[in-house]
Amino acid sequence: MTQDLFQIAGKTYGSRLLVGTGKYKDFAETRAAIDASGAEIVTVAIRRVNIGQTAGEPSLLDYLPPSEFTYLPNTAGCYSADDAIRTLRLARELLDDHKLVKLEVLGDPQTLYPNVRETLKAAEVLVKEGFDVMVYTSDDPIVARELEQIGCCAIMPLASLIGSGMGILNPWNLRLIIEQSKVPVLVDAGVGTASDATIGMELGCDGVLMNTAIAGARDPIRMAHAMKLAVEAGREAFLAGRMPKKLYSGDPSSPLAGLIAAK
């Protein structure tokens, strides 16, 4: 079997599942779910989760030490390029000159849909400042191409709205983005259950980023494990290459030669 490396900004990872750290009961549950998911990259909303900004409060860093996980600070809650840039500069300070970030600039609080104009603006600045930018975007292949040209190290189109659990709404657009991209493409946001993650991977995504599907499950730890298996299964199926689709007709599974004659 050929080696199947997953690389982001020059670093190799064993898991293609990236997970968020929000919406859990407490940091202990966050840690248990992330362990069950096998994720190595964890994203953290700098504006919402304490990683040292608020002295005296419990810090996520105590539960998910940066020596064990790759942090992916994100700009959740930012609605302008300026806000997002400021937030990621703060993250870089808090996390010792950390460069790998997730850029998301949202359009409005109802849909949380990406504002692509502000996203492109922020990406330009952040890439110039030396950040490795994994970018959350719409499933528009033209915007995805522009973000890659700017120098983003991963393109992360939504499956559907953040937190909606609606799954992959436009597999065809995802396919176009995957086919044209030279950097990794990860589906981000909207995964509802394990099969959504598998479909994303079967389409050829390099990875999946999710939060709510795990944290919002009745049993988050168990769902985290399901997502680990789902991403692995989808990747294996993609690499194996699915059987060709045919017109709708039957095809016997067993050999036709040497049939025992009926008496």
Ligand X SMILES: CC(=O)[C@@H](O)[C@H](O)COP(=O)(O)O
d(CA 53, CA 48): 10
Q: Is 170 annotated as a binding residue?
A: no
Least distance CB 81 / ligand X (angstroms): 17
Is 70 annotated to bind a ligand? Reply is no
**Binds ligand X by CB under 6 A, chosen from 8, 36, 105, 191:** 191
The amino acid that residue 156 corresponds to is M
In sequence order, which residues have a C-beta less than 8 Å from that of residue 189 and are 6 or more positions away?
112, 136, 158, 159, 160, 161, 162, 163, 209, 210
CA 172 to chain CA mean position, Å: 18
Pick out residues in 61-80 that bind ligand X (CB under 6 A). Answer: 74, 76
Of all residues in this chain, which one has the CB nearest to ligand X in the complex? 20
On whether the CB atoms of residues 37 and 228 are closer than 8 A, the answer is yes
Print the SS3 string covering 193-206: CHHHHHHHHHHCCC
How far apart are CB 109 and ligand X at their closest, in Å?
13
Catalytic choice (99, 102, 121, 128):
102
163 a known binding residue? yes
Q: How far is the CB of 242 from ligand X (least distance, A)?
A: 26
The reply to whether 211 sits in an annotated binding site is: yes
CB of 44 to ligand X, least distance (A): 8
Of the candidates 149, 207, 138, 208, the residue with the CA atom closest to the CA atom of residue 176 = 138
| CA distance to 78, 101, 165, 175, per residue, from 178 (Å) | 27, 21, 22, 5
Shortest separation between residue 153's beta carbon and ligand X, angstroms: 16
Concatenated DSSP letters for 104-132?
A: --BS-TTT--B-HHHHHHHHHHHHHTT-E
250 assigned binding-site residue:
no
And the tokens for 13?
């990872």
224 binds ligand X (CB under 6 A): no
Please pick, from the candidates 184, 190, 200, 207, the single residue that binds ligand X as defined by CB under 6 A.
190
Q: From the list 95, 210, 226, 227, which residue makes contact with ligand X (rule: CB under 6 A)?
A: 210
Per the annotation, the verdict on 246 as an active-site residue is no
Among residues 22, 61, 20, the alpha carbon closest in space to that of 42 is found at 20
Reduced to 3 states (helix: H, G, I; strand: E, B; else coil), residue 41 is strand
What DSSP letter does each residue of 188-249 carry, written as one string?
A: ES---SHHHHHHHHHHT-SEEEESHHHHTSSSHHHHHHHHHHHHHHHHHHHHH-PPPP-SS-
Q: Determine, following the binding rule CB under 6 A, whether residue 212 of this chain makes contact with ligand X.
A: yes
Binding mask 80-119 for ligand X (x = CB under 6 A): ----------------------x-x---------------
Stretch that binds ligand X, among 121-129, 140-148, 183-191, 197-205 (CB under 6 A): 183-191
**What is the size of the binding site for ligand X (CB under 6 A)?**
19
Binding site for ligand X (CB under 6 A): 20, 22, 43, 74, 76, 102, 104, 136, 162-163, 188-191, 209-213
Q: Hey, which residues are catalytic here?
A: 102
Q: Specify binding-site residues for 1-deoxy-D-xylulose 5-phosphate.
A: 163, 189-190, 211-212
Q: Specify binding-site residues.
A: 163, 189-190, 211-212
